[in-house]
Amino acid sequence: MLSEKITHYRLMNNMSVMDLSRETGLSTTRLKRIEHNKHVHLPPDTIKTIADGLGVSVHSLLETENNANNPANLDSVWTDIVKEAMDSHVTKEEFKRFLEAKKRETDHHD
DSSP state of 88: T
Please check whether residue 35 is in contact with residue 6, taking contact to mean a CB–CB distance below 8 angstroms.
yes
Q: What is the mean pLDDT of the chain?
A: 83
Strand extents, DSSP E, the chain: none
CA distance 57 to 76: 6
| 67-76 pLDDT, tens digit each | 555 554 556 6
φ/ψ region of 25 (left if φ > 0, alpha if ψ in -120 to 50, else beta) reads left
Q: What is the pLDDT of residues 59-99, one digit of tens each?
A: 888 886 555 555 545 566 677 777 788 788 888 888 888 88
**65 vs 109: CA distance, rounded Å:** 39
H or E stretch at 68: helix 65-68
Cα end-to-end span (Å), the chain:
42
